[in-house]
Amino acid sequence: MSPGALPLPAGFRPYAWAPSSLEIAARHGLRPEHILRFDQNTPPLPGVPRVPLAQSFARLNDYPDGTYRELREAAASYCDVDASQIVVGAGADELIALCARTFLGPGRCAAISPPTYGLYRIVTELEGAEVVEDRDGAAVIWVCNPNNPTGELREPTELAALARAHAEAIVVVDEAYFEFADATCVPLIAEQPSLIVLRTLSKVFGLASLRVGYAIAAPDVAAELELRRAPASVSGPAARIAAAALREPRIDVQDTLAERARVRDALLSAGHDCPESAGNFVFVRTAEPLGEQLERQGLVVRHFAEGVRITLRRPRENDVLLAALGTEVDAVLTGREVHVARISTETALRISLDLDGAGHARVETGIGFLDHLLALWTFHGGFDLELLAGGDLEVDEHHTVEDVLAALGDAVSEALGAREGIARYGSAIVPMDEATATVAVDLVRRPHAEIALQFGSDRVGGLAVTLLAHALERFAIQAGCTIQLTAAGGDDHHVAEAAFKALGQALRQACTAAGEGVRSTKGLA
């Protein structure tokens, strides 16, 4: 112990970070790239900044606005409260510590209901206060809702009643996983000012690395927290990116919720004790050393005395874990599903592409017409595509359109891998009312594009028509294929639509495993 450091309570255990994938791989003689992490409770794919990074990084010599007005206003509008009710911090973790600093000290105690998030105990003890399970007389009651690690959700009205029953206590409701549960105590703060709600950008927003969280409290309580807040613990770029994310949230939890139900059902069928969860994770109650067994196979879950917590990842990755847990799923990581992330000073984007999909698209580029065209491309290609982009659209749409198509080409190329055993050629003639598109593709690595789109005016769907052709050329080059595409007609909108539909159809054929035949067009719009 360093001389002068204040003594810590007997048995104090600091926050312990999980070992890195490199360490885990070395420990079990595995390759680091084969380690799958189900232990971080973060989404499998990163959030995409909605502000041009060049702007965010242009003034690194300046301190951020230490009042975080922009971020507080964005959080306030996201939560439908007043900005005076928002306190920001470097992650919900810093706000947990701030609550402890504000309301705890020697002679006070704080109540927890284990198993729960371990930081509540740590910050309580660091303030010299005592951790108890009996809520009577506690200065702070820590509630994690939904609870990490069990996923249990308590009704907000029940928590407000708890706060009323313990009027002398501050009830901190940690809603780190709120978006997956869609139940919040925020509207109850007005009538019950002893409630403080904590939120984070680390979970559903996929921005954990930025370290941004915020508290929502009654104005007087927020003011008390503000008095004790660190001067400017959230960096300027992090605050800007987080504010943009909160202002226009791009949250889609449907896939995660569907996976949560599917994974839980599979675990229950295999005889596991898996309670209902309202988070982006499931919990398996067990006394067995399940976590260690899985880790030896490169599957990392979070161990607790009561069981293991499994963060949901992409369906195929979850299948690998489910197979290891004795469920009846076909675990095949096909290799035709890829994730591409591209960040430049002008645009940021993220793509998940599965060549063997069902035609589902979630495309949000900030350019409605481009989203529409790519959704058609995905549908007619029979792919699955999730594509999020944020770019300097206030300059113009050029960078975003070009970068999106180029990165999509990269994704196709990566997904095709060695390009063995595929049909290679594909072609389609697609009419769209009076317009017609004709396309031929060759997937052998001879990047070449002949794109002839005949439009009647300079712009279609708000996009410069020359840009569309240019971006399709980039797509061909990055995908490493030949594309010959012509489209013409009386209605520019139809010309563009026919072109993207036809390209999807032709790629579908060309990507098909040889001999498998081509996709039926029955029922396609």
Chain positions contacting ligand PMP, by CB under 6 A: 41, 91-93, 117, 144, 148, 174, 176, 200, 202, 208, 213
Length, in residues, of the chain: 525
Q: Taking the complex as a whole, how short is the minimal distance between the CB of residue 210 and ligand PMP, in angstroms?
A: 9
- What six digits make up the tokens of 88? 């920001």
Query: What is the SS3 assignment for 309?
Result: strand
- Which among 207, 209, 203, 229 is positioned nearest to 217, based on CA atoms? 229
Closest approach of ligand PMP to the CB of residue 27, in Å: 23
- CA–centroid distance for 107 within its chain: 41
Going by the DSSP 8-state scheme, the letter that residue 17 receives in this structure is P
CA distances from 396 to 53, 183, 400 (A): 16, 39, 8
Q: Which is nearer to ligand PMP, 214 or 500 (CB)?
A: 214
> CB 380 → ligand PMP: shortest distance, Å?
40
For residues 205 and 207, give the distance between their C-alpha atoms in angstroms, rounded to a whole number: 6
Q: Which is nearer to ligand PMP, 151 or 426 (CB)?
A: 151
Closer residue to ligand PMP (CB): 92 or 385 = 92
Structure tokens at 145: 């809702």
Q: Shortest Cβ distance from residue 304 to ligand PMP (Å)?
A: 13
Instruction: Give the whole-angstrom CA distance, residue 500 versus residue 479.
Output: 15
6 token code pair: 């204040």
Q: Find the helix or strand (DSSP H, E) in which 463 lies.
A: strand 463-464
Q: Which residues of 104-138 are buried (b: 16+ CB within 10 A; e: fewer)?
A: beeebbbbbbebbbbbbbbbbbbbebbbeeebeeb
Least spacing, CB of residue 205 vs ligand PMP, in Å: 10
**Closest distance of CB 378 from ligand PMP, Å:** 32
Please identify, using beta-carbon distances, which residue of 196 and 387 lies nearer to ligand PMP: 196
Q: What are the start-end ranges of the E strands in 159-204? A: 170-174, 195-200
Distance CA 216, CA 99 (A): 12
Minimal distance in Å, beta carbon 373 to ligand PMP? Answer: 36
Alpha-carbon distance values, 117 to 149, 151, 215, 309 (Å): 7, 11, 17, 12
- In the bound state with ligand PMP, the residue whose beta carbon lies nearer, of 91 and 489, is 91
- Mention every residue, 6+ apart, whose C-beta is less than 8 A from residue 255: none
Between 74 and 355, whose beta carbon lies closer to ligand PMP? 74
- Give the residue with the Cβ less far from ligand PMP, 205 or 379: 205
Nearer residue to ligand PMP within complex by CB, 202 or 378: 202
Cα–Cα dist 448/468, whole Å: 16
Contacts 24+ apart (CB under 8 A), 272-277: 272/325, 273/307, 275/150, 275/151, 275/152, 276/151, 276/152, 277/146, 277/150, 277/151, 277/152
Q: How far apart are CB 41 and ligand PMP at their closest, in Å?
A: 5
Nearer to ligand PMP, 92 or 139 (CB): 92
Q: Smallest distance from the beta carbon of 228 to ligand PMP, in angstroms?
A: 17
The Cα–Cα gap between 474 and 407 comes to: 9
Nearer to ligand PMP, 52 or 213 (CB): 213
CB of 390 to ligand PMP, least distance (A): 21
* Residue 235 CB coordination number (10 Å): 17
Q: 281-285 and 307-311: which strand pairing? A: antiparallel
Smallest gap from Cβ 148 to ligand PMP, in A, equals 4
Nearest one of 465, 473, 450 to 496, comparing CA atoms: 465
Complex with ligand PMP: residue 278 or 451, whichever CB lies closer: 278
Q: C-beta of 229: minimal distance to ligand PMP in Å?
A: 15
Nearest residue to ligand PMP, scored by beta-carbon proximity: 91
What is the CA angle 467-472-478, rounded to 5? 125
| Complex with ligand PMP: residue 313 or 508, whichever CB lies closer | 313
